[in-house]
Amino acid sequence: MEEALNKQVNAEFYSAYLYLAMAAYFESIDLAGCAKWMYAQTQEEMVHGMKIYDFINERGGRVKLEAIEAPQVEWESPLAVFEHAYSHEQHVTSLINDLMNLAIEEKDHATQIFLQWFVTEQVEEEASANEVVQKLKLAGASSGGLFMVDRELGQRQMPIPVPQKD
């Protein structure tokens, strides 16, 4: 279980790195609202990684950080970026489900309870990314539609950082 949780720490930090690359892409094409949305997503993924990091330590385990794979840095369109984000969240959901299945198999009740938060969170993560995909599809080739979506995404608030232990 500890090894699998360590792999998930890496996956969460990779997710943060991927979303940061997406934010940089949006900055490069002057879509500041989309960039802000992705930057907020980056911070959220860092919080997720640290939650698992802290849980491993609380359980007396050992966190073992590994190299983070380089993310994709170019996309063909804003829609392609958000479709990638949605697909990525579906992948992360499968990783969380695999962790939960392992915790059930290992009869590790504490980890099952801990992972329940992530199971619920992934429902929101997928819905959030898919909502933007659908809005961008509705906007189509309209630059005015893209402008409106970008402006809306710029309203996303940054997540509140998780307090650190003393």
Quick: pLDDT tens for 34-75. 999 999 999 999 999 999 999 999 999 999 999 999 999 999
Question: How many CB atoms sit inside 10 A of residue 22's CB?
Answer: 27
Q: What is the pLDDT of residue 3?
A: 98
Give the H or E element holding residue 24. Answer: helix 2-28
Q: How does pLDDT run across 102-134, given as a tens digit for each residue?
A: 999 999 999 999 999 999 999 999 999 999 999
Distances (CA, A) of 60 to 33, 49, 55: 41, 17, 9
Domains and CATH numbers, the chain: 2-66+78-153 (1.20.1260.10)
Q: How does pLDDT run across 6-36, given as a tens digit for each residue?
A: 999 999 999 999 999 999 999 999 999 999 9
Distance CA 87, CA 101 (A): 21
Output b/e per residue, 151-160; b: 16+ Cβ within 10 A. eebeebeeee
Distance CA 7, CA 100 (A): 14
Q: Both tokens of residue 117?
A: 């938060």
